[in-house]
Amino acid sequence: MKRMIAGVCCLALCCLPLMAQKHSAKMAGAAMTDQQFVDFAAQTDMVEANLGQLAQTNASSQDVKDYAQGLVTDHTQDMGNLATAAQQANLTVPNAIDKKNNDTIIGPFQKLKGKAFDRKYIQEMIAGHTKAIAIYKKESTAATNPQIQQYAQNALPVLEKHLDGAKALLKGGK
């Protein structure tokens, strides 16, 4: 009887990581509504533009400042594209950075200057754009509204360009 209980316990312990992995994969792959995607995209655009402006004064590397200025331009333009698509889809676009993004992403950057800012900024751009690309790819085929689907498809090449630029800055040690 003890062996049987021990065997069942071992089997349960062996299955736990697999069950947890399936659960986290399910959560990561959870479908967004079109409105949730619009909210995510708007927050991404506003945060990227805000951090890009902050980089103009807090970064030490001219390459980082140039990269950041490109992000300000691109994400500001993208916000207009998002607003157009959302309006056509009868969805609303937030017009301010939410508290969570302000506190967890922007806040820490306001305390950094010079090389410390450059390093953290590049790391954040790689992580943020990697996450955004995954979400935009999913929405480019899964969005309910065709305007939102088209918006996501059109935005992907710019996000990929930003990710490549951040990786190049990391490799260059800037």
For residue range 90-115, what is the model confidence (pLDDT) as tens digits?
A: 999 999 999 999 999 999 999 999 99
174 against 106, higher pLDDT = 106
What per-residue confidence (pLDDT) applies to 4?
47
Average pLDDT over residues 15-34: 52
Using the structure block, give the residue that is written with the tokens 């103009």: 56
What per-residue confidence (pLDDT) applies to 29?
56
Is 52 within 8 Å of 68 (Cβ atoms)?
yes
If pLDDT is split at 50, 70 and 90, which confidence band does 31 have?
confident
Q: What is the share, in percent, of the chain residues with pLDDT greater than 70? A: 82
Check whether 55 has a pLDDT greater than 90: yes
If pLDDT is split at 50, 70 and 90, which confidence band does 30 have?
low
Measured at the CA of 90, the angle between CA 89 and CA 92, to 5 degrees, comes to 110
What per-residue confidence (pLDDT) applies to 112?
96
Alpha helices for the chain (secondary structure H): 2-28, 34-58, 62-88, 99-101, 107-110, 114-142, 146-172
Check whether 14 has a pLDDT greater than 90: no
Name residues whose C-beta falls within 8 Å of residue 65's C-beta, 6 or more positions apart in sequence: 55, 56, 59
Measured at the CA of 96, the angle between CA 87 and CA 27, to 5 degrees, comes to 80
Give the three-state DSSP class for 95.
coil
107 against 29, higher pLDDT = 107
